[in-house]
């Protein structure tokens, strides 16, 4: 994997997607799940995760899978802007589904 490690099928995001760990869901589609971060760094701090499994890093996603997942991003941005006084949300390109704590 380009992400440089073995995919952990029991990572926190996989548990949230399966419903085995709680979250405050913003919305869910066939391809993604958007929810509020449990430890927000700012108002409206949200996470959008793909429902596709087995990929440790965004660069590992097949192009069509990434396109389907990222098509939901504008919906999340609009939702965050609506509840955060219309300030532009910060979008992070950190590793996904790698670990619950970010390096």
Phi-psi region of 58 (alpha: psi -120 to 50; beta: other; left: phi over 0): alpha
Contact yes or no for 98/56 (Cβ under 8 A)? yes
Considering the entire predicted model, what is its pTM?
0.78
Domains and CATH numbers, the chain: 12-83 (3.30.428.10)
Which residues, in sequence order, are CB contacts of 70 under 8 Å at separation 6+? none
Contact yes or no for 73/81 (Cβ under 8 A)? no
Strand partners, 49: 33
The bridge status of strand 32-36 relative to strand 46-50 is antiparallel
Residue 5 pLDDT grade (very low, low, confident, very high; cuts 50, 70, 90): low
pLDDT(73) > 90: yes
Each residue's pLDDT tens digit, 19-37: 999 999 999 999 999 999 9
**Residue 62 to residue 69: CA distance in whole angstroms:** 11
Q: What is the per-residue pLDDT for 81?
A: 83
Whose CA is closest to 35, among 86, 88, 72? 72
């Amino acid at each position: 994997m380009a992400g440089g490690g073995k995919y952990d099928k029991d990572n926190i995001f996989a548990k949230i997607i399966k419903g085995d760990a709680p979250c405050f869901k913003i919305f869910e589609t066939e391809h993604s799940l958007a929810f509020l971060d449990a430890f927000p760094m700012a108002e409206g701090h949200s996470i959008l995760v793909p429902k596709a499994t087995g990929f440790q890093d965004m660069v590992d996603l097949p192009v069509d899978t990434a396109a389907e997942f990222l098509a939901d991003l504008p919906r999340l941005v609009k939702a965050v802007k609506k509840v955060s006084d219309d300030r532009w949300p910060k979008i992070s390109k950190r590793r996904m589904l790698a670990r619950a704590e970010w390096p």
